[in-house]
Chain A
Amino acid sequence: MHSKIEVRGLNKSFESDQGRLVVIENVSFTVRDGETVAIIGPSGCGKTTLMNMIAGFVRPDAGAIVIDGVPRLKPDPKGILITQHGSVFPWLTVRENLMFGLNGHAPRNKAEIADHYAAIVGLKGFETSYPHELSGGMLKRAELARALVVKPEVLYMDEPFSALDALMSLRVRNELLRILAEERHTVMLITHDVEEAIHVADRILVLSPRPARIQAVFDVPFPHPRRLASAPAQELRVAILRELGVDQYGG
């Protein structure tokens, strides 16, 4: 498998009242085609900035993001960003939201494709509902479906499930895994939830506190469906938590 995303020597700092604040320092890694990579790190370490740079919304101060061998300069529909608070348009129905990115298709066909993806994420029957009529979990599914409709090669997910309660988060994660098993997207997932990372990722990068550097890399060799309560999964969890400086759960 060739590398889909190559991140080379990224640096980013912001001006603040206390002077220059280095947020990302010399971060390099690669993501293979079809791989799911989770990035985990303490809050405020610059994970979101890193994701925004990789997705093309923020320009790095130094370094490059190369996708399929081409330097990334701006966002495009081949990689869709899904964020914690979501960006499903509240003024459009579920169907209209899903049709949003489908510009090249004939109007009739668009609605068909949209409804197909609504059904995939379990929103059949809610095509003409408005987002404010949906629950948080359904809204997340709608956002996932809207991303999938444009057949992106990469999904950039920035704490996508952290606004959901634990049960709903688990459900939507299972949904995501089922879809990934069929469609084989490349996924970058930012999270602060170690269990979530072990649940979905093939590889986990642990970032250091600010300025963010890659502190450790863990492979997650377990086949799907994963049993998070299994001994090796728990060992991995403890190891990652220790890397994050949380030892008290280690007993």
Chain B
Amino acid sequence: MNRIKSSLPALGVIVALLFAWWGAILATQSLIFPTPWGVVTGAVELLADGTLWRHIGASLMRVGTGFALAVCVAVPLGLWMGWVRGAYNTLNPIFQMLRPISPIAWIPIAILWFGVGDASPIYLIFISSVFPMVVQTTVGVHTIDKRYLRAAENFGVSRATLFTQVVIPAVLPQVLVGMRIGLGVAWLVVVAAEMIALRSGLGYMIMDSRNAGNRYDLVIAGMIIIGVIGLSLDSTMRRLERIRWVRWRYAQ
């Protein structure tokens, strides 16, 4: 009940925007920009012939693959950079230089290396989500409270115990933060990447709808679907903060 109550203002704003949109179309007599209802019927049309699901599936598959690869690389790399000073000093400047390069700037190189198949967007997603996760994991190791490391040192535990029982659990919440950022960026990038070359995916759907007859109803439907999926990906990641291995971080 409280949740419904607290989301009422947001719903109100959305409804107000829809009315403003509709009113603007009526006032300007626009022939090309769709009404909200036009967007709904466009989306239903896509749903009915199954193309919408195909595009969503394609985008999610690319994000899933690229993101999973990035996690597999970023977490061990971040732990290593956080723990070994030399690794940090060697790799951090390079990463700090690569990190601000927009994934969009990688598109020509991705096409050159991987062609116009699925590999290109997967590579772009990998590139865009790997850096924030490396950085967060490294920061996580660096910010482990010294008293815990001292306690571990005091008990004279093996390196394996130190890692599995102190370092990794201490860093896990930061890794999760990195994953949330990484997944957000990945979703942002997949749509951009798909706009360039491919024959499936939500980004492709948007560009194709415009090119094949100015179907702006489908363009906007695609944008809204991207937003909704992005929101649900983020809230899924947020839900992970409640699992027992990281709950301690958010308790109290």
Picked from A74, A96, A100, the residue with its CB within 8 Å of the CB of B155 is A100
Say yes or no: A132 contacts B150, CB within 8 Å: no
Q: Which B132-185 residues have a C-beta within 8 angstroms of A?
A: 147-148, 150-158, 161, 165-166, 169-170, 172
Say yes or no: B154 contacts A80, CB within 8 Å: yes
Across-interface contacts of A101 in B (CB, < 8 A) = 155-157
Chain A 43-74 per-residue mask, 1 if CB under 8 angstroms from chain B, else 0: 00000000000010100000000000000001
Picked from A87, A90, A103, A130, the residue with its CB within 8 Å of the CB of B150 is A87
Say yes or no: A100 contacts B157, CB within 8 Å: yes
Say yes or no: B154 contacts A75, CB within 8 Å: yes
Picked from B154, B165, B172, B252, the residue with its CB within 8 Å of the CB of A89 is B165
Say yes or no: A75 contacts B148, CB within 8 Å: no
A81 at the interface (CB under 8 A from B): yes
Say yes or no: B165 contacts A103, CB within 8 Å: no
Q: Bound state CA distance, A85 and B161, in angstroms?
A: 23
A208 at the interface (CB under 8 A from B): no
Given A55-B154, A75-B153, A130-B251, A89 and B161 contact (CB-CB distance below 8 Å): no
Total of A-B residue pairs, C-beta within 8 Å: 63
Across-interface contacts of A103 in B (CB, < 8 A) = 157-158, 161
Query: Which secondary structure dominates where chain A touches chain B?
Result: loop
B242 to chain A, nearest CB (A): 13
Interface residue tally for chain A (C-beta within 8 Å): 26
Across-interface contacts of B165 in A (CB, < 8 A) = 89, 92, 96, 100
A133 to chain B, nearest CB (A): 8
Given A87-B150, A91-B248, A150 and B155 contact (CB-CB distance below 8 Å): yes
Q: Bound state CA distance, A100 and B251, in angstroms?
A: 22
Q: Which A86-108 residues have a C-beta within 8 angstroms of B?
A: 86-87, 89-92, 96, 100-101, 103
Chain A positions within 8 Å of B, measured between CB atoms, are 55, 57, 74-77, 79-81, 83, 85-87, 89-92, 96, 100-101, 103, 130-133, 150
Can you list 16 A-B pairs with a CB-CB distance of less than 8 A? Answer: A75-B150, A75-B153, A77-B156, A79-B154, A87-B150, A89-B165, A91-B170, A91-B248, A92-B165, A96-B165, A100-B161, A101-B156, A101-B157, A103-B161, A130-B251, A132-B251
Top 10 closest pairs, chain A to chain B, by CB:
A101-B155, A132-B251, A87-B151, A91-B169, A90-B248, A87-B147, A77-B156, A75-B154, A91-B248, A77-B155
